[in-house]
Amino acid sequence: MKTLLLSLLFFTFLSPSLLPQEEGIPNSLTPRGEVSQEYRWSVEDLYPSVEAWEKEFNTLPERFSQIVELAKEWTSSPSRMADFLEKRSRLDIVVSRLYCYASFLKDTDLGDTQAQRMIGRLQSETIEQERRLSFMEPDVLRLSSEKVQEYLRVEPRLLPYRRMLDRILKARAHILPTEQEEITRLASLFSDVSERVSSLLNDLEIPPATVTLKDGKNLVLTGAAYQFYRGTPVREDRRLVLESYWKNKKSYENTFAALLDGEMKRRSFFAKTHGYENNLEAALQPNTVDTKVYTHLIEQVHNNLQPLHRYLRLKRELLNLSHLHYYDLYASSVPSASKTYTYEQAKTTLLKAFVPLGKEYTSTVRKAFDERWIDVYPNKGKQTGLYSNGGAYEVHPYILMNFNGTYGLMNGLAHELGHTLHSYLSNTNQPYPTSRYPTFLAEVASTFNENLLLDHLLKTEQDDLFKLNLLDGYLDNLRSTIYRQTLFAEFELFMNDQVEKGETLTAKELNQKYLELTKTFYGEDQGVMVIDPFIENEWGSIPHFFMNYYVYQYSTGLISSLALSESVLTGGEKQRQVYLNFLKSGSVNDPLEALKIAGVDITSPATYTRAFKRYATLLDEMEKLVKKLKVAGKLSPIP
């Protein structure tokens, strides 16, 4: 029942001004029923009605029974294996389609109790049945590798399942006997306890600090208030906000250390019981990613800190500061230059930005607009945020938006269209078993589109102050996505290494390591930034540390897209077609091989050189704009 749901957390680069409320433009108070059909996604492409959904849903028991019947000796011959796998794939397609329809109804009206019941019934129907089908991996493992290869030679219908079968066979050394595997599965019942407790503490149970701002306003420092006020233009206030927030959390640092210690030991238990050398291997090997990719990322980012330090020095100059402190990091360094777009203007802008990808790509984007793949505006009860869901094979992907006219949400639409086109081109060019691209590649196409949008606007916009805003926001996004996430990746590796050495994580040790890494990344010894010691326990509020070596993929994805977009923008038809073929390849190849075919070797220093060269080029552009605006008297230091 897995669907490809890729959500976006991004920075809104400009002031969050809303579109003027034109007649017919919905907002967050508009009832769903009053939203014009042209702005609502076409869920009828999945099922024409709830009744049609019910009819399909009612076929599930019979479908499961057919699967169970085919499961008898399903590995005894090539044809029986193919029959079983094809029937199983068809079941997965139906379940995903059912889930997408119900979840789309729910996400556009969170008060829709009928949709909630539909999701609940679907989950109840599938969970037990999926448990009954858990014999697949053990049955494959009872075959020899030679036997599986023989089956693949004589039965063409099995070829789309080659990678799945190979993955199971490669994991043979890490799959326990059935009884032991069942015990480790039972351990998963409480495997998320540390994460849940950490979330409850951070988001609910720690009493927030209260501060008095310079203007006399009393502020309760909830998480949302901290996120907003840490970027206030009043320097005294942003120091007060950061210092008070983290000193308040410090009272709980020993608890957070114990929770992370428990999480790392849980991972270590899983890795050791399944025969992995360490937890990094256990986390990356099932996705066919070599552990050297992880360590190479850290090494190469350390070798390329200079562009970040250049950006921070420019920020210090723009803020007119003698010393840049960590509490200055989130303050805007350039004057606001808001610009709003109607939805029609956003569509036109994006279609022009995507021209370097050619007619096939832009015509598909136009289809997404014209055929209502997108739920555009907010409405009462609609889920906030935005995402792309390409989980309904044989039906186009869908995008949930809450468009409000800001550049940030136009950029968000570009991002989600990247996911959507990746899903669409994979789904329409691959059989179901190889249609879903791996998580490691998930953020390549989305950030690629952001790169194209920025390039287009820098070439076409006339307002230099707006262009400066674009560059400042984009470079800060690279800071937070490449550098900050790599810092997190190195810190996570440190925690795992300590536990695997038999150590127990303590707050003192974690504080020291976090400060050490932050000082290194942000260049304290080089005089780039002063790292305020009160942020030493920031690690306790970072949920990614419970995601088991996930964050590094934000960095590798963006570095890959920087290299690929530079190749397409400076190349010709060959480079364009190579990239499009990458989008169409789904999971035919291992993720590292897929990138290599597209022209990016994430294990090579040359890829990082290309990516950071792009960073430096954009920084050159920003520095030129700063000089130009200062000469024109249009840029004064932020007070």
Q: Would you please indicate which residues are annotated as catalytic (active-site) residues?
A: 416
Distance CA 333, CA 472 (A): 8
> Quick check: 8 and 386 in contact, CB under 8 A?
yes
Contacts of 244 (CB under 8 A, 6+ apart): 209, 211, 221
Task: Identify the residue whose tokens are 């029937």.
Answer: 87
H-only helix segments in 523-604:
552-570, 573-584, 591-598
Structure tokens at 15: 């002031």
| Spatial CA neighbour of 544 closest among 536, 535, 552 | 552
Helices and strands in the chain: count of H runs, count of E runs:
26, 6
Return the H-helix or E-strand segment holding 5: strand 5-7
> Any idea what DSSP says for residue 42?
-
Task: Identify the residue whose tokens are 């005294």.
Answer: 236
> Quick check: 549 and 283 in contact, CB under 8 A?
yes
Distance CA 174, CA 269 (A): 13
Distance CA 164, CA 148 (A): 11
> Any idea what DSSP says for residue 2?
-
> Quick check: 75 and 142 in contact, CB under 8 A?
yes
Q: Are strands 374-375 and 398-400 parallel, antiparallel or unpaired?
A: parallel
| DSSP bridge partners of 530 | 325
> Crossing angle of helices 253-273/235-250, nearest 10°?
60
Within its chain, how far is the Cα of 141 from the centroid? 33
Dihedral of alpha carbons 436, 438, 444, 447, sign: positive
> Quick check: 314 and 626 in contact, CB under 8 A?
yes
**597 Rama sector, left if φ>0, alpha if ψ -120 to 50, beta otherwise:** alpha
Per DSSP, the residues of 311-368 read HHHHHHHHTT-SS-BGGGTTS-SS--------HHHHHHHHHHHTGGGHHHHHHHHHHH
Distance CA 114, CA 105 (A): 9
Structure tokens at 437: 């691209």
| DSSP bridge partners of 339 | none
